[in-house]
Amino acid sequence: MEYRPLGRTGITVSSVCLGTMTWGSQNDEAEAHAQIDLALDRGINFLDTAEAYPVTPGTPENRGRTEDYIGSWIERNRGRDRFILATKAAGPARGPGIPGNRLDRPGIEAALDKSLRRLATDYIDLYQIHWPSRRVPRFGERGLQQLADTPDDVPIAETLGALGDLVQAGKIRAFGVSNETPWGVGEFLRLSREDGLPRVASIQNAYSLLNRTFEIGLSEFALREDVGLLAYSPLAAGHLSGKYLGGRIPQGSRLDVAKQFTRYDVPQQPDATARYSAVARAFGLDPVELALGFVHGRSFVTSSIIGATSVGQLEADIAASLVALPREAIEAIEDIQQRYPDPCP
């Protein structure tokens, strides 16, 4: 396992992060605990969760259960010091059944206190804003045609001030953003410089062979400002494994249990995925190795977040993430990217 700095925080995290979004819906408590045990045994010291999890699918009844499972593992093993723990404040509600909270001081403090109780801890290593308060491009959208600000939007300065106070209080060690844009990251950095507040440490955005939009604008921030990418969906919700090619939807898979997610339901995706699978086979690789190895090897990636519904799948994905791709495979990937540029933003 490789370990990389988390921004300028002084915290070091494994280059592979254990994602937990399915815990509480597709995985029960015992399965979640088994995944934590395996991840730690394989050198992973970084777990990512959120107050909104699980979402595959999520219901008001099981919302927050993912954090509960992590908390029960911590209590049973007295193991809080064994990993770097990241969670998220949901931000504004993004759809029916999805919780939301204002990103002002009362909203952030209330969300954090609930997460701390569920996680059975008194501090979070990395506290992230799951979605910006303002309207930003969402899954499948390519930028804004016009602004859609509302009086309910909380200014970034107010959010940052609240996060800074939580750092001072010792409730969080660092903070990051998620589903954020170059403008938003720039504002966080500007306000930190001008107001003497803590800097943003990381950007958790989608990044995969089917969605490399992070490279446009955000990658320069990551490299110049040490605000690295925590890459979620490096397998594009399982599509890049090839298991959905030909219209197949295996029972219990993400597409089977979470039909509300249509980010990858675009005409160009199956052809692009098939071409990436062919490249993998040409170099004696599994498609999962090509996809995860590509993300893990990018210079602006701090950690790639992998999730699994079984211990066996998790073990395979950890190994695949650490595969170093040959230069010729990277060149073949770039050829496909030129023909199918980011089909699933």
DSSP letter at 300 equals T
**Cα separation, 195 vs 186, whole angstroms:** 14
Contact (Cβ atoms closer than 8 angstroms) between residue 124 and residue 76: no
- Is residue 130 packed enough to be buried (19+ CB in 10 Å), middle (13-18) or exposed (0-12)? buried
Strand 301-306 and strand 16-19: pairing? Answer: parallel
Annotated catalytic residue within 53, 127, 264, 276: 53
What token pair was written down for 63?
């919302």
For residue 23, the SS3 value is strand
- How many CB atoms are located within 10 Å of the residue 275 CB? 17
> Could you tell me which residues come within 8 angstroms of residue 83 by beta carbon, excluding any fewer than 6 positions away?
36, 40, 44, 45, 46, 47
**Cα separation, 93 vs 220, whole angstroms:** 30
Residue identified by tokens 């995290």 is 13
Annotation marks residue 53 as catalytic: yes
Among candidates 122, 124, 197, which has minimal Cα distance to 163? Answer: 197
**Cα separation, 160 vs 167, whole angstroms:** 10
**Cα separation, 325 vs 99, whole angstroms:** 40
What token pair was written down for 183?
């403008």
What token pair was written down for 239?
């599509």
* Radius of gyration in angstroms for the set of CA atoms belonging to the chain, rounded to a whole number: 19
DSSP letter at 36 equals H
**Cα separation, 107 vs 123, whole angstroms:** 17
- The one-letter amino acid code at 203 reads I
**Cα separation, 158 vs 162, whole angstroms:** 6
Contact (Cβ atoms closer than 8 angstroms) between residue 177 and residue 128: yes
Show which residues are catalytic: 53
